[in-house]
Chains A and B, each alone.
Chain A
Amino acid sequence: MSEIKIGTMRVKAGLAEMLKGGVIMDVTDAGQARIAEEAGACAVMALERVPSDIRADGGVARMSDPGKIREIQEAVTIPVMAKARIGHFVEAQILQALEVDYIDESEVLTPADEANHINKWNFTVPFVCGAVNLGEALRRISEGAAMIRTKGEAGTGNVVEAVRHMRTINAQIRQLTGMDEDELFKAAKELRAPLELVKWVAENGRLPVVNFSAGGLATPADAALMMQLGAEGVFVGSGIFKSEDPAARGKAIVEAATHFNDPEVLARVSTGLGSAMAGLEIGEIGKENLIQHRGW
């Protein structure tokens, strides 16, 4: 009776199950973390700079200072996540040593490896990874990701890319469910994803792990839109602490994620929140500056 297993896929993916229907908020210090927890966030993402600042500042964006992450861990009791650069397994080792609850192998930071993502099976701590389509999601899961989020376009306050990615993934899942077994071999080749995972998705009609939405959400309506499109929860980055009243907006987005099918609640919580973050038109950013194309 004393057999104890840690770091199993069931406990890794299980934490993501517990976050479902919730809002994960980017925070840069203990004060913001407490505001997020008070607003009802189900987890926080500890960062040095939110994506809109990373975008504005330019330069290489790296893992946060461990001191900053500890400060945030001490401030709240909800799970604390942190970002590592794509392929930077040493940053991930450091984050695991800090006992963060989830690592986001994130395109928001500057990639450290342009061919390989982190082998996430080597870690006890679970990983969440971004995806713009089903193939990318399944490649990340095959590397050990226990949670997926659509990438969207971080730091823009513009939900259009998050919508595109969620619709793409769900449309591709629906296509698989309509295929016969013979067609799945070709589908796996085209998706550049392992056949076993493609078969699983075709059979079950969903991803094998939880799928959140991220990248450009700024309002309660944005959160509810993504939930109605099939997201199981949402990440909100710059959208909360770059707005006029982060506490009120954070609480409103939490309520919108729970009551996403209840327009009466959505109307009430959307009222009088002050101005949202200033947004960016995707066309004005220039293709070479889009973050979503990082990762392979």
Chain B
Amino acid sequence: MMNADNPSAYPIVGVLALQGAFREHRRALEKCGAQTREVRRRHELTGLDALVIPGGESTTIGKLMVSYGLLEPVRGLAREGLPVFGTCAGLVMLAGEVVEGDQPLLEVMEVKVRRNAFGRQVNSFETPLGLPALPGGQPFPGVFIRAPWIEQAGPGVELLASHEGRPVAARQGNLLATAFHPELTDDLRLHDFFLDLVSSR
């Protein structure tokens, strides 16, 4: 679904800009031909064709989403079918549940997520990942920073990649999520993949 006001325009992708690596997502999306808009207040959600929830600290992002009345509207939009792409903290925000701890979540994706699952920063790592859903066939550069993993996934969830047996990328209908940070690499295939979801609506 393109922007209703101007159906011929490139899709307008909101990037939640409360905290974290929102600028890197904007850069990647713009390289892929999308228009972007930083979202900090509720009215900035109006007219979006898609939304990205970036990496950052999920506790901080969750609290600020509650304080600024963004949690409910984003949940509503995601349930109505707005394409949403979450990376790292964004995956945590999309999840239905986290292992340990209670923090505000969107609860739109049927996954249970373990935060900081691969350990503290000294265990943060890079590794090539097999991601067969992407074109080209070459491995995707996986950048994992205090990353979560998917502990359990519901039947509607398609697992796209795993590392050491742990699912680290998934799709459920209009929702896409990764435990790693494509926005910190020059590989645009995941952002392109997301924009294909947007244009196929």
By beta carbon, the residue of chain A nearest B141 is: A10
Q: Is the CB of A99 within 8 A of B120?
A: yes
Q: Within the complex, which residue of B64, B130, B181 is in contact with A14, where a contact is CB–CB below 8 Å?
A: B181
| A2 to B127 alpha-carbon distance, docked (Å) | 7
Q: Does A102 contact B (CB under 8 A)?
A: yes
Q: Is the CB of B64 within 8 A of A96?
A: no
Q: Within the complex, which residue of A20, A99, A262 is in contact with B19, where a contact is CB–CB below 8 Å?
A: A20
Q: Does A19 contact B (CB under 8 A)?
A: yes
Shortest beta-carbon distance, A233 to chain B, in Å? 8
Report whether over half of chain A's contact residues are helix, strand or loop; otherwise say mixed: loop
Q: Within the complex, which residue of A15, A79, A100, A258 is in contact with B18, where a contact is CB–CB below 8 Å?
A: A258
Q: Does A259 contact B (CB under 8 A)?
A: yes
Q: Is the CB of B21 within 8 A of A255?
A: no
Q: Does A195 contact B (CB under 8 A)?
A: no
| A35 to B120 alpha-carbon distance, docked (Å) | 21
Most buried by B among A8, A17, A19: A17
By beta carbon, the residue of chain A nearest B18 is: A258
Please give, as numbers and ranges, the residues of chain B lying within 8 Å of A237 by CB-CB distance.
none
| A99 to B122 alpha-carbon distance, docked (Å) | 6
Q: Is the CB of A5 within 8 A of B64?
A: no
Stretch at the interface among B5-13, B29-37, B52-60, B150-158: B52-60
Please give, as numbers and ranges, the residues of chain B lying within 8 Å of A4 by CB-CB distance.
125-127
Q: Does A125 contact B (CB under 8 A)?
A: yes
**CB 8 Å contact bits of A167-199 with B (1 = contact, 0 = none):** 000000000000000000000000000000000
Q: Within the complex, which residue of B64, B126, B181 is in contact with A255, where a contact is CB–CB below 8 Å?
A: B64
Stretch at the interface among A38-46, A64-72, A280-288: A38-46
Q: Within the complex, which residue of B18, B126, B139 is in contact with A5, where a contact is CB–CB below 8 Å?
A: B126
Q: Within the complex, which residue of A1, A15, A124, A262 is in contact with B145, where a contact is CB–CB below 8 Å?
A: A15
| A37 to B103 alpha-carbon distance, docked (Å) | 11
Chain A, 119-141, CB within 8 A of any chain B CB: 124-126
Number of A-B contacts (CB under 8 A): 128
| A100 to B146 alpha-carbon distance, docked (Å) | 12
Please give, as numbers and ranges, the residues of chain B lying within 8 Å of A254 by CB-CB distance.
60, 63-64
| A14 to B147 alpha-carbon distance, docked (Å) | 12
- Name the interface size band of chain A: 35 or more
Task: Tell me how many residues of B have a C-beta within 8 Å of chain A.
Answer: 42
Chain A, 77-95, CB within 8 A of any chain B CB: 77-79
By beta carbon, the residue of chain B nearest A8 is: B126
| A79 to B40 alpha-carbon distance, docked (Å) | 23
Q: Is the CB of B121 within 8 A of A43?
A: no
Please give, as numbers and ranges, the residues of chain B lying within 8 Å of A257 by CB-CB distance.
19
Whether A18 touches B55, Cβ cut-off 8 Å, given contacts A42-B19, A42-B60, A79-B146, is yes
Q: Is the CB of B143 within 8 A of A11?
A: yes
Q: Does A6 contact B (CB under 8 A)?
A: yes
Q: Does B1 contact A (CB under 8 A)?
A: no
Please give, as numbers and ranges, the residues of chain B lying within 8 Å of A7 by CB-CB distance.
122
| A68 to B24 alpha-carbon distance, docked (Å) | 35
By a beta-carbon cutoff of 8 Å, the part of chain A in contact with chain B is: 1-8, 10-12, 14-15, 17-22, 37, 40-43, 77-79, 96, 99-102, 124-126, 254-255, 257-259, 262
Question: A15-B146, A40-B59 provided; 7 other pairs, C-beta below 8 A?
Answer: A6-B123, A14-B145, A17-B55, A37-B59, A77-B101, A77-B116, A78-B60
By a beta-carbon cutoff of 8 Å, the part of chain B in contact with chain A is: 17-24, 40-41, 55-57, 59-60, 63-64, 67, 88-89, 101, 115-116, 119-130, 139, 143-146, 181, 184
